[in-house]
C-alpha cells in the first residue's frame, strides 16, 4: 500500500498553492545544463525536436513537459541538470509544435499523446540499459498513461509524474469554473489559440481563425480543436480516453506520483488513493503544499524540492 508520507515542509510564507505555482517560474535560477538538439523525422511526415544531455552513461531519463511548455522551461532544465549530476543522461523531448517551430501536420499534440512518447522511448533505447520516464503536469499524464497501457519497453526501470492531472475532465472543470484559477486559464488559452492561428496560416482551408475568438474555456477549446484534430468524438470523449487514471492499476514498474494537495490545477479526482492502495508499483505522495510544479522550500536556494525527490526516488524506486 505505497501511499508515502511526505517530508516536504515549506516555510509558512510559501504554503499557499497559488504562491507556489506563480512564484516558482519567476525566480532566477542558474541551471547548468547544455542540450544538443536533434530533429527526428517521423513516419507520418511530421517531426519531433529532441534535446539531449549526453555524457556516455548507460542510464537515460526521458522528460516530458507540460501544456504549452517545452524543453526550454526551467522546470525541465532544472530536473535534467539534477539527473545528469546524479549519473543519468537526459532526453527532453518537445511535444509536436512545442520546440519553437510549428509542426507540419494539421494536428498538434494532446494530453494522451502516449504513442509519441512510446516512439521516443523505442528510438532512444538501443543506447541504454536502463530508462526512467518522467512527466510534468500534462506530460505526467502522458507518461503515466504510457506506463499503464501495457506496451512498456523492457529497458524502463522506473517512472514519475509531478503535478499530474490524471483526470483531465476534473482538472479542466477546476480551471474553467474556479475564479481563483482564471489567471492560469487565460494564459493557457491565449497560448493555445495563438497556436491555432498559426495553424490557420498553414492550413487556411481547415481552420477558421474567427472561431477562435469565441473560445474562453478548456471545454470549448478541446471540443472545437483538440478532439476533432486528434480523432476524438468531442471534449468528453477526449478527456475520458486520454486520462491516465484508468491506466494506473496496470502500471508494473515502480512509479512515483507527486501531487500537492493545494495544487490549483487539480481536482479531488486527481488524487488516486484507491489505485495506489491496490497497486504496489504506484507510489503516491501528496504533500499538503507545493502548488502546481512549485515545491519551493528555499532550503537549497531556488531549486525546487521536487527535483531532489525525483532523484531520490530513482536511486531506489522499489523502496520509494
Q: Is the residue at 211 inside a domain?
A: yes
Domain boundary among 185, 218, 242: 242
Range 214-233 average pLDDT: 95
Instruction: Give the domain-ending residue among 224, 242, 260.
Output: 242
- Pair (156, 83) in one structural domain: yes
Same domain, 129 and 262: yes
Does 84 lie in the same domain as 214? no
To the question of pTM greater than 0.85 for the whole model, the response is yes
Domain identity same for 144 and 237: no
Query: Is residue 123 over pLDDT 70?
Result: yes
pLDDT digits (tens, 9 = 90+) for 20-66: 999 999 998 989 999 999 999 999 999 999 999 998 999 999 999 99
Answer yes or no: are the C-beta atoms of 29 and 23 closer than 8 Å. no
Count: domains in the chain: 2
Percent of the residues in the chain that have a pLDDT greater than 90, as a whole number: 90
Q: Which residues of 262-296 are buried (b: 16+ CB within 10 A; e: fewer)?
A: bbbbbbebbbbeebbeebebbbbbbbebbbbbbbb
> What is the pLDDT at residue 317?
78
Q: Is pLDDT at 209 greater than 80 in this prediction?
A: no
Which CATH number covers residue 307? Answer: 3.40.50.1820
Q: Tell which of 184, 217, 242 closes a domain.
A: 242
User: Does residue 282 lie in a domain region?
Assistant: yes
| First-last CA distance in the chain | 12
The verdict on 75 and 142 lying in the same domain is yes
Considering the domain architecture, whether residues 79 and 176 belong to the same structural domain is answered as no
Res 212: pLDDT: 79
Query: What gap in Å lies between CA 245 and CA 48, rounded to an integer?
Result: 26
Has residue 280 been placed in a domain?
A: yes
Q: Considering the domain boundaries, does residue 210 fall inside one?
A: yes
**pLDDT recorded at residue 213:** 82
Average pLDDT, the chain: 95
What average pLDDT score do residues 199-212 get?
85
Is residue 320 in a domain? no
User: Positive or negative, the Cα torsion across 113, 115, 120, 124?
Assistant: positive
Do 128 and 26 lie in a common domain? yes
Average confidence (pLDDT) over 166-177:
97
Give the pLDDT of residue 54. Answer: 95
pLDDT value at residue 281: 96
- Containing structural domain, residue 102: 3-167+247-315
Given a cut of 80, is residue 196 above it in pLDDT?
yes
| Residue 118 shares a structural domain with residue 176 | no
Both 151 and 210 in one domain: the answer is no
The pLDDT of residue 318 = 67
In this predicted structure, what is the pLDDT of residue 143? 98
Dihedral pair phi/psi, residue 156, rounded to 5°: -70, 125
Q: Within 13 Å and on the Cβ side, how many CA atoms surround 168? A: 27
Q: Is the pLDDT of residue 1 over 70?
A: no
Give pLDDT, residue 304: 97
Strands (E), the chain: 3-4, 36-41, 47-53, 59-64, 89-94, 130-136, 156-162, 255-258, 282-285, 299-302
Q: Looking at the structure, tell me whether residues 42 and 61 fall in a common domain.
A: yes
**Does residue 130 lie in a domain region?**
yes
| Residue 177 resides in a domain | yes
**Residues 78 and 134: beta-carbon distance below 8 Å:** no
**In-domain check, residue 173:** yes
Q: Taking residues 140-168, what's their average pLDDT? A: 97
Who contacts 176 (Cβ-Cβ below 8 Å, separation ≥6)?
Answer: 185, 217, 218, 219
Q: What is the C-alpha to C-alpha distance for residues 198 and 44, in angstroms, rounded to an integer?
A: 20
User: Span 65-79, mean pLDDT?
Assistant: 97
| pLDDT at position 122 over 90 | yes
Percent with pLDDT over 70 in the chain: 99
The verdict on 175 and 100 lying in the same domain is no
- pLDDT above 90 (res 245): yes
Q: Are residues 145 and 115 in the same domain?
A: yes
| Lowest-confidence segment of 129-133, 212-216, 226-230 by average pLDDT | 212-216
Instruction: Say which residue, 210 or 247, is predicted with more confidence.
Output: 247
Q: Who contacts 43 (Cβ-Cβ below 8 Å, separation ≥6)? A: none
Amino acid at each position: 500500500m505505497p501511499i508515502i508520507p511526505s517530508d516536504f515542509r515549506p516555510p509558512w510564507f510559501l504554503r499557499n498553492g497559488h504562491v507556489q505555482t506563480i512564484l516558482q517560474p519567476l525566480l532566477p535560477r542558474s541551471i547548468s545544463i547544455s542540450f544538443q538538439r536533434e530533429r527526428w523525422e517521423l513516419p507520418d511526415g511530421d517531426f519531433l525536436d529532441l534535446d539531449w544531455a549526453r555524457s556516455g552513461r548507460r542510464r537515460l531519463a526521458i522528460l516530458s513537459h507540460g501544456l504549452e511548455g517545452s524543453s526550454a522551461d526551467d522546470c525541465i532544465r532544472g530536473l535534467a541538470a539534477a539527473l545528469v549530476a546524479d549519473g543519468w543522461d537526459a532526453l527532453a523531448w518537445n511535444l509536436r509544435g512545442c520546440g519553437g517551430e510549428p509542426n507540419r501536420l494539421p494536428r498538434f499534440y494532446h494530453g494522451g499523446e502516449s504513442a509519441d512518447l512510446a516512439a521516443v522511448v523505442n528510438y532512444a533505447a538501443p543506447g541504454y540499459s536502463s530508462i526512467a520516464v518522467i512527466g510534468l503536469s500534462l506530460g505526467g499524464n502522458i507518461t503515466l498513461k504510457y506506463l499503464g497501457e501495457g506496451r512498456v519497453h523492457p529497458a524502463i526501470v522506473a517512472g514519475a509524474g509531478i503535478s499530474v492531472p490524471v483526470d483531465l475532465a476534473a482538472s479542466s472543470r477546476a480551471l474553467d469554473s474556479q475564479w481563483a484559477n482564471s489567471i492560469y486559464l487565460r494564459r493557457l488559452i491565449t497560448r493555445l489559440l495563438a497556436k491555432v492561428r498559426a495553424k490557420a496560416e498553414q492550413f487556411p482551408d481547415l481552420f477558421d481563425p474567427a472561431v477562435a475568438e469565441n473560445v474562453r474555456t478548456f471545454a470549448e477549446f478541446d471540443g472545437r480543436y483538440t478532439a476533432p484534430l486528434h480523432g476524438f468524438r468531442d471534449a468528453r470523449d477526449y478527456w475520458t480516453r486520454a486520462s491516465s487514471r484508468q491506466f494506473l492499476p496496470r502500471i508494473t514498474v515502480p512509479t512515483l506520483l507527486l501531487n500537492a494537495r493545494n495544487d490549483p490545477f487539480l481536482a479531488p479526482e486527481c488524487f488516486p488513493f484507491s489505485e495506489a492502495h491496490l497497486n504496489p508499483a504506484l507510489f503516491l505522495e501528496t504533500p499538503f503544499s507545493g502548488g502546481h510544479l512549485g515545491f519551493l522550500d528555499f532550503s537549497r536556494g531556488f531549486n525546487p524540492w521536487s527535483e531532489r525527490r525525483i532523484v531520490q526516488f530513482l536511486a531506489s524506486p522499489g523502496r520509494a
